[in-house]
Structure 1
Amino acid sequence: MYRYNKVIIILMTLLPWLSIPLLGMKTFKRFLPGTIFMSLYLITEGRLAEKRRWWWFHYNVKPNQLAEWPLIFGPFFVGAIWILKYTYGKFNTYLIVNLIIDSVFTFFMLDWFKKIGYVSLVRLNKFQLSIVFMIKMFVLYGFQMVYERLFKRASLNGGQVNGSQS
């Protein structure tokens, strides 16, 4: 990979973090658990994708590390918080926003990433990748719903999730 492309990957990882102060601390804390959960999910998915050769990263940030790390901890991590901030509680809006963003990534950004030698699809086609993205979309929203229900119930019960006293 050319030095120029390495700079692009580094910027892709770091630039989204510059928007974090604009989110507000309350929003960041509210959606951080769901985003962390999804990041762990993506790491697991990346390991599975490596074994099954769904896609191939031509460039690794560090040896023996998932090459998806710049995507996971850059645009995905920060983007998930932004998307949840503006769409959580409005599922249809969440669905449409995610479909648009995932389609832009799948049908435009992926070609550019392939061109710069970052990643290529191997055993998945773009339609199948869209299905993978759709699954992640539902998992993130579902996790956030469950988390908030448990968290709100715990705060209403004085910290006890099931309402029992110690």
Structure 2
Amino acid sequence: MKHMKYSKTLLLIMMILPWFTFPLLGKDAFKRFLPAALFISLVVRIVNFIAKKRRWWWWYEKLHPKISGIIPFIWGPFLVGSLWILKWTYGKFFRYLILNLMVDGVFTYGVVYYLQKFGIASMVRMKKIQIMYIFTIEALLLYGFQFVKEKLLMRSV
């Protein structure tokens, strides 16, 4: 596949590019939402570990022999995107859910096509709608983590 020679570069760009929006996020939002974003990044890493064992999907490309192709997504668009989504929608649960469904839908029904085309990843034993279910559960966990964190902080003040 002629596109495969660019796949490592593409992964690297996808990991680094979202961080250029970091200064626009604001220090307060970063500090407020970082624990939840780190928590959900860990959850996504665990889900990916399970997915690898059960062959739900497969990452062909790696940045390094010991670093899965999912890592640039987790530490790039996923982590930074979680911070932005919480900043824009936290406290407005319906808006949060709609935005997450839109972003997850674009990834599942758009980005996955290009991941396959560039030889980076592919679906194996999972349908796209099933991935949307997983993403929805992760979105609920992200919001729930932030909600509990803020309730505990309010209690301790």
Same fold (TM over 0.5): yes
Q: Distance in 1 between matches of 2:37 and 2:96?
A: 15
Pick aligned residue for 1:102 from 97, 101, 104: 104
User: Which residue of the partner structure matches residue 61 of structure 1?
Assistant: 63
Q: Distance in 2 between matches of 1:66 and 1:132?
A: 19
> How far did 1:67 drift?
2.3
Do the aligned partners of 2:104 and 2:132 also contact (CA within 8 Å) in 1?
yes
Q: Distance in 2 between matches of 1:153 and 1:17?
A: 33
User: Which residue of the partner structure matches residue 14 of structure 1?
Assistant: 16
TM, length-normalised to structure 1:
0.90
User: Which residue of the partner structure matches residue 26 of structure 2?
Assistant: 24
Q: Distance in 2 between matches of 1:2 and 1:121?
A: 17
Pick aligned residue for 1:132 from 111, 131, 134: 134
Q: Secondary structure at the match of 1:61?
A: strand
Do the aligned partners of 1:83 and 1:94 also contact (CA within 8 Å) in 2?
yes
Structure 1 unaligned spans of 5+:
157-166
User: Which residue of the partner structure matches residue 45 of structure 2?
Assistant: 43
> How far did 1:31 drift?
0.1
State the structure with bigger RCO (CA 8 A, min sep 6), 1 or 2.
2
Q: Distance in 2 between matches of 1:151 and 1:8?
A: 40
User: Which residue of the partner structure matches residue 162 of structure 1?
Assistant: none
- Runs of 4+ with >3 A deviation: none
Q: Distance in 2 between matches of 1:27 and 1:79?
A: 13
CA change 1:67–1:6 in 2 (3 A) is closer
Please provide the CA RMSD for this pair.
1.1
Q: Distance in 2 between matches of 1:3 and 1:21?
A: 32
Q: What does the per-residue CA deviation read over 1:63-84, in whole Å, with 9 as the maximum and x for residues that have no partner?
A: 2333210100000000000000
Do the aligned partners of 1:47 and 1:66 also contact (CA within 8 Å) in 2?
no
Identity %: 45
Equivalent AA in structure 2 for residue 146 of structure 1: V
Q: Distance in 2 between matches of 1:17 and 1:3?
A: 24
- Which has the larger helix fraction? 2
TM, length-normalised to structure 2:
0.95
